[in-house]
Amino acid sequence: MNNVAPTTFDGVLDLVRHGPDTWVGLSAGYSWGRIYGGQVVAQALWAALQTVEGEFLPHSLHAYFIRGGTVDEPVRYEVDRLRNGRSFCTRAVVARQSGGAILHLSCSFQREETDAEVQTARMPIAPDPDDVRSQADDWPWIMERRSMVSYPGAGKSMGWVKLVDPLSDDPLTHVCGLAFTSDTVQFSAARSIHPLQVPQEQYRDRFMGASLDHAMWFHRPARADEWHLYEWDCHGLRGARGMTVGNLFAADGSHVASIAQEVLLRERRST
């Protein structure tokens, strides 16, 4: 495989087979030095999809971020075929670098079924993405975020996200794209209820933050290269951990996914 860091989402999914049920992928060059968690989830899900028959679609995933990945080393994805059933199949994926495992992902796939469809989740009122300032300084490529302000004490965050480059119509590419974008926006919900409130530009100096674990349930398809809205609530902070739960909506109000993530929000203290 070439050693050129990907700059598009298609490049992120360009995994190379390295033996039975094993794939290797490269990381984009993130300014903060660690691999973005959403990238590892998306690549792990893509690796799992290579072992699943085409009529099965992802309906849920559960991931533990074990340690931060380094951007200048390939990631090896080892897939375990836990079960193949008539309606559902299950896979486990371990993502590794030379320092050890960086992520463990369990994911389940369901054969398409026609049955009752009811949506009770309602898309919140939000400004049009064209009316929200882009955070281009953080994501100049692959993904664009347009987040609303989370005021102190709100315990909520919300933002529009999309992948920058147009994708094919392959629904599996888009579901991996949504997994990629899902590890974002939620930190503001947790930060807003922390007793220590500092300006945004001081957060990295005053706090250590990371995603700890991540779960996602897919309800309806959506295009990852079109604006989609994340809405997050933080249920509380304890032990430097914040529990956030959220919903993902397409621009037309369709409830695309439900998400839960525990985040690390540790105050840096002088020793």
Q: Which residue carries 């409830």 as its tokens?
A: 255
Between β-strands 228-238 and 156-163, what pairing exists: parallel, antiparallel or unpaired?
Answer: antiparallel
**Contacts (Cβ under 8 Å, ≥6 apart) of 42:** 12, 13, 176, 177, 179, 180
Select which of 147, 150, 157, 183 is catalytic: 183
- CA 49-22-42 angle, to 5 degrees, is 45
* Residue 25, beta-bridge partner list: 75
116 CB neighbour count, 10 Å cutoff: 4
User: 219 with 200: CB under 8 angstroms?
Assistant: no
Decide if 211 is catalytic. yes
> CA end-to-end span of the chain, whole Å?
44
**Crossing angle of helices 171-181/37-49, nearest 10°?**
150
Decide if 60 is catalytic. no
Decide if 261 is catalytic. yes
Q: Which residues belong to the active site?
A: 183, 211, 261
